[in-house]
């Protein structure tokens, strides 16, 4: 039986940040119990790239596509692939690490499940995370002609221990005529199958344009 699930983490003050450098502060502005008419809150991000979030091309490319330049239909994916590659420490994931033969050629989005999500909440998650090798972007574009985005269950496409290589990786995925939307810090907790019918990514649409928090909803088969 099909089911609709979330594949994004909720935002709270324990939300991890890359290298542990940033924070999210949630504070009440008003409370009904204090005699006012409504409960309201303030959210203060020290960096918009926290929690489950997207990187747009503008994140690393000065002339790259910005958040508000995406049409709504570009956040809907109807041919979603999943590939498993367990990781327990920092490394750069290359094409040879992934069994790409198991993924249909017509996919428009690829999830990479490393099971690194199990470390979320530990320091290991923010400073010993895997990343994606720059060369992987070209391999994925060449093999999957409809591919428009990738998502994974670690905090950043850049491994904290391979930061220089990570900058090159971001540019490889984002700064290309056929850029790939990057979704970081994905959650696979509710996913109990390898078959996804469709995925919809709902971003926080801000004018700064370099990315930000997203909610991911998928229908699984």
Domain definitions of the chain by residue range: 3-10+48-220
Residue 126 above 90 pLDDT? yes
* Residue 177 tokens, joined: 């005529």
Strands 92-93, 131-132: pairing kind: parallel
Q: Is the pLDDT of residue 141 over 80?
A: yes
Instruction: Band the pLDDT of 107: cuts 50, 70, 90.
Output: very high
The pLDDT tens digits for 73-96 are 999 999 999 999 999 999 999 999
Measured distance CA(177)–CA(131) in Å, rounded: 22
Does residue 213 sit in helix, strand or coil?
A: strand
Taking the C-alpha atoms of residue 182 and residue 130, their distance in angstroms, rounded to an integer, is 15
pTM of this structure: 0.96
- Measured N-to-C along each axis, helices 163-174 and 134-143 cross at an angle, to the nearest 10 degrees, of 30
Asked whether 180 and 134 are in contact (CB, 8 A), the reply is: no
Task: Specify the residue for token string 């940033």.
Answer: 22
- pLDDT for 193 beyond 90: no
Q: Please write the tens of the pLDDT for every residue from 18-70.
A: 999 999 999 999 999 999 999 999 999 999 999 999 999 999 999 999 999 99
Q: What is the pLDDT of residues 200-220, one digit of tens each?
A: 999 999 998 999 999 999 999
Domain 3-10+48-220: assigned CATH number: 3.50.30.50
In the 8-state DSSP scheme, what is residue 72? G
Q: Which residues of 136-163 are buried (b: 16+ CB within 10 A; e: fewer)?
A: bbeebbeebeebbbbbbbbbbbbbbbbe
Residue 68 is predicted with a pLDDT of: 98
Q: Indicate whether 221 pLDDT > 90.
A: no
User: Six-digit token pair at 117?
Assistant: 């999500």
Q: What is the pLDDT at residue 149?
A: 98
Does the structure show a pLDDT above 80 at 1?
no
């Amino acid at each position: 039986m099909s089911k609709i699930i979330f594949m994004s983490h909720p935002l709270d003050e324990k939300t991890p940040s890359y290298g542990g450098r940033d924070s999210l502060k949630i504070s009440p502005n008003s409370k009904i119990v204090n005699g006012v008419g409504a409960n309201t809150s303030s959210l203060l991000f020290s960096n918009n790239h926290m929690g489950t979030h997207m990187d747009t091309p503008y994140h690393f490319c000065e002339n790259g596509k910005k958040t508000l330049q995406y049409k709504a239909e570009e956040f809907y994916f109807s041919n979603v692939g999943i590939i498993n590659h367990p990781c327990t420490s920092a490394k750069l994931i290359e094409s040879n690490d992934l069994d790409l033969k198991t993924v249909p050629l017509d996919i428009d989005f690829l999830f990479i499940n490393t099971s690194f999500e199990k470390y979320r909440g530990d320091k290991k998650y923010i400073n010993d995370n895997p990343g994606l090798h720059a060369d992987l972007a070209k391999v994925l574009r060449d093999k999957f002609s409809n591919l428009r985005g990738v998502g994974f269950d670690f905090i950043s496409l850049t491994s904290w221990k391979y930061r220089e290589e990570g900058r090159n990786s971001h540019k490889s995925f984002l700064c290309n005529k056929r850029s790939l939307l990057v979704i970081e810090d994905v959650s696979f907790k509710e996913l109990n199958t390898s078959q996804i019918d469709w995925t919809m990514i709902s971003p926080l649409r801000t004018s700064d344009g370099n990315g930000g928090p997203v909610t991911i909803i998928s229908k699984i088969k």
